[in-house]
Amino acid sequence: MAFAIPKIDYTGKIKPITLGKGPKAVNLGQEDTYPFHLFEGTMPNLPKIAIEVYDIAPDEWAEAALEPYKDVVNDPVAWAKKAINEYGADMICLQLASTDPNSQDASPAQAAETTKKVASAIDVPVIVYGSANQEKDAEVLRKVAEECEGLNLILGPVQDLNYKQIGAGAIAYQHTASANTPIDINLAKQLNILLGNLGVQDDKLIIDPTTGGLGYGIEYSYSVVERIRIAALSQGDDRLQFPMICNLAKEVWKTKEAKTGDTDLMGKSSKRGIIMEAITAMLLLLAGADVLIMRHPDAIKVVREMISDLTA
């Protein structure tokens, strides 16, 4: 008898969502198999890469990360255009760092204005992330939702204490909610249920399970992303059958390893951060991520090669 490859019996399928609009809109979801298990099922929509754009010029970035964007860090619109035109971003993730109460504490109106400017200037989907201060994000993202009606943004992080405010804004102005929980499958499911009860439709919801960088908790992230995918596909858990987004660049590039200069032990700093970002991204892809929020063009290149190799 010929050898038959054992196959997993899937009972679920990831729900489809569409981000953005027009010809560059991005479709996610619909996979009915574990990542890249193309011998068992299909992945109609391959994972996408969003490039980070900050609304204020970043300080304390590693030299390697700053280099590709040196000329555009003071202009989010130009930054976004460069990311799309030169580095092939499928999406833009606008990080509203200025709104952090511990930083500039920029007003919701200012944030909304920047968002509108960026989103109107480009044709790929825009992910808008607040500062993860729950109270402030509730105000900021509500305002952004309102001012950018119809642009089908992805708003996040939507968390347990502000999901009602941001969720309501997302429903009213037709945006997608990125439901963020601290690396726990049950908490992820609970927030999805709560958003569903609030009236967020299944095609307007994406899971952000929280990402740890390489060496800083990637094992936990990997495990939770993988478990969410297993529950969705093999255990038919309806409330976890959503695409997942991993906000990884921030985590990788803030580490000591990414920021330290050249050393004998750790080698060249110009390569180190890039490799760490690439490996973090690859791991998360293997676990089940659908959208990667990334920073360095070289890391992105490596990850794209990996995706095409695994789907060739």
Pick between residue 42 and residue 186 the one whose CB is nearest to another protein: 186
The token pair that represents 86 in the structure block: 């030169």
Classify strands 291-294 and 48-54 as parallel, antiparallel or unpaired: parallel
Pick between residue 96 and residue 195 the one whose CB is nearest to another protein: 195
Residues that bind another protein (CB under 8 A): 160-161, 164, 184-187, 189-190, 193-194, 196-199, 239
Nearest distance in Å: CB 114, another protein = 29
Element of type H or E holding 254:
none
Nearest distance in Å: CB 178, another protein = 18
Nearest distance in Å: CB 254, another protein = 27
**Rounded Cα gap, residues 74 and 175, in angstroms:** 27
Element of type H or E holding 188:
helix 185-198
Pick between residue 77 and residue 198 the one whose CB is nearest to another protein: 198
Nearest distance in Å: CB 179, another protein = 13
Give me the count of residues in the chain.
Answer: 312
Nearest distance in Å: CB 169, another protein = 14
Contact 221, 212 (CB under 8 A): yes
Residues 31, 88, 57, CA angle at the centre, nearest 5°? 115
Pick between residue 72 and residue 183 the one whose CB is nearest to another protein: 183
Instruction: For residue 287, report the phi and psi dihedrals to the nearest 5 degrees.
Output: -80, -30
Pick between residue 198 and residue 310 the one whose CB is nearest to another protein: 198
Classify strands 17-19 and 26-28 as parallel, antiparallel or unpaired: antiparallel
